[in-house]
Amino acid sequence: MKIIDKEKTDFKSGPSKHADPGHRSGEHGGNVYRIAQELGISENTLIDFSASINPLGVSERVKELIKRELDGLVNYPDPDTVELRKEIAAYHGIGEDTIICGNGSTELIYLIPRVFRPRNVLITAPAFSEYERACLLNHELRIMNYELKEENGFSIEPNIFIEQMQGCDMAFLCNPNNPTGGLLSREAVLEIAGAARKAKCYLVVDEAFIDFISRESVITNVKDNPYLIVLRSMTKFYALTGLRIGYGVFNEEVIEKVKAFKEPWTVNSLAQKTAVTALEDDHYADKTFRLMIEEKSYMERSFDEMGIRYYPSAANYYLLKVKDAGSIVSKLKQKGLLARDCSNFKGLGSSYIRVAVKSHEQNGLLIREMKKICGA
């Protein structure tokens, strides 16, 4: 287990190894604006495999809703997100008073350490870099990394997670994990959550990609465990990326404390309205599931044919092991195809890239270009 002391990171003298995770150049996928400027082309001509967004894009029902609601932008958004919380509660079968909506789930990732002020935090490696940055920005603490092993397919072993969680007062668990795509069963997460309660350690379960396999969600179990927090995103499955909408579910014993630290009006009016409509759009969800089954099967066959190792993924992306990630990402970029170089994820080196699952035409283009680059 690797330990990072905030006291040993220097935010003033420039970026040290851990000083500003999540905001170094190229750290996240989806920055089509910077790449377009670099290449001297329009961002609309790029195909972004670096950001794992539903290839169907924004649903037609949501687009129509946006047109109807434009005049409402003259008003402040509802600071209590009443209509949206009612819809989320009905969708999941949970209490609306347990829900806090945010400007994407990232707002809540930053809010939680500010509220609970943990001293010792457990985070898997590799994992979404914002967990660490959110913790390190707030106060003095220690980050403990549970380093996932390549030989085990980067899988999270519940017994090891529980063991390393001892002595911590907060732990982050991404399920399915980003960037590996690995999934823990609902039973395994509940086992960890039970251990977290005994250890009095807040377990933050980030379910940003769980909509692709929703039966494994633990969102309905928050009511029984004051140390379990579940975060959800409307970005990955519903493609509401630019509107920034997510939510967290908190036990009634802690939610008022969280609300006391939250800024008002962080969720704009269009985000609130479109999220309600998106959750009601069963046709869009069904179409997404069918597309994912077909395209993931196609991509896996293609990776097998090229001799490229991929890790089983429960989400809409794949972690690939290649010979030279930087070279492949660079060559794809020159073709207007953006892949995620994963060399700056903790626990990964220069041999990994992540690619999203997109439309069949776009996936086919990616595969053809990768065959040329890899000589397959």
Mean pLDDT confidence for 169-186: 97
Region 274-292 average pLDDT? 98
The CATH number of the domain covering residues in 31-57+283-374: 3.90.1150.10
Question: Are 31-57+283-374 and 75-280 equal in CATH topology?
Answer: no
Provide the strand spans (E) within the chain: 2-5, 47-48, 99-102, 120-125, 142-147, 170-174, 202-206, 228-233, 246-249, 309-310, 317-321, 337-338, 340-341, 352-356
pLDDT at residue 283 tops 50: yes
Three-state DSSP class for 13?
coil
**Alpha-carbon gap, residue 29 to 297, rounded angstroms:** 23
Q: What is the pTM of this model?
A: 0.91
Read off the tokens for 262. Answer: 């939250």
**With respect to CATH, is domain 75-280 assigned 3.40.640.10?**
yes
Query: Which of 29-38, 103-112, 143-152, 295-304 comes out lowest in average pLDDT?
Result: 29-38
Region 167-181 average pLDDT: 97
Domain boundaries, the chain: 31-57+283-374, 75-280
Residue 194 pLDDT class (50, 70, 90 cuts)? very high
User: Tokens for 215?
Assistant: 């039966």
Average pLDDT over residues 162-179: 97
Q: For 34-83, what is each residue's pLDDT tens digit?
A: 776 776 666 677 899 999 999 999 999 999 999 999 999 999 999 999 99
374 pLDDT band, cuts 50/70/90, is confident
* Rounded (10°) angle between helices 325-334 and 32-39: 70
Burial of 123 (0-12, 13-18, 19+ CB in 10 A): buried
Confidence of residue 17 (pLDDT cuts 50, 70, 90): very low
Whole-number percent of the chain with pLDDT over 70 = 89
Average pLDDT over the chain, rounded to whole? 91
Amino acid at the residue 63: K
Q: Which two tokens stand for residue 211?
A: 């909509």
> Is the peptide bond prior to 226 cis by the omega test (within 30 degrees of 0)?
no
113 SS3 class: helix
